[in-house]
Amino acid sequence: MASINVCTVPDELKAALRKFRFRKATTNGAIVMKVNMKSMEVEIDEEYDDCTLEEVAEDLPEFAPRYIVFSYCHRRSDGRVSYPLVFLYYCPGGVKPEMNMIYAGTKTSVINAIDITKSWEIRDAEDITEEWLLSKLEFFG
């Protein structure tokens, strides 16, 4: 039976995520992360600025998990604007069980590194839309 190691979140990544969390931009942005299977560390795969959630989803691999941190410019019906930070664990079907376990076992460490409360898992990149996100954010008011 193979030994499954939970990956580390390097200090450089933690610093980049903190910087992203407190960015001053007034547009959507995202950081997509992956696990480097050789070093067993989480690393940045892609960074996006002034993007839609659908644009980020289009670039996701078909058969590999990813962690996504998305800063969303949410314009409410009463005119207020908020910038919720959300975490998505994308794990499509067809992923090798070992890789799935590594990502699932590391997810909490990544969430804790950015101290995020809005987090969801999703299996199909086509479901990652602004409409889907708004339905999830309704719970938070």
Question: Of 46 and 138, which is predicted with more confidence?
Answer: 46
Q: Which range, of 11-15, 42-46, 136-140, averages the lowest pLDDT?
A: 136-140
Mean pLDDT of 16-44: 94
Q: Which of 8, 72, 80 is nearest to 40 (CA)?
A: 8
Report in angstroms the alpha-carbon separations of 91 from 22, 49, 88, 101, 139: 27, 23, 9, 10, 23
Q: What is the pTM of this model?
A: 0.90
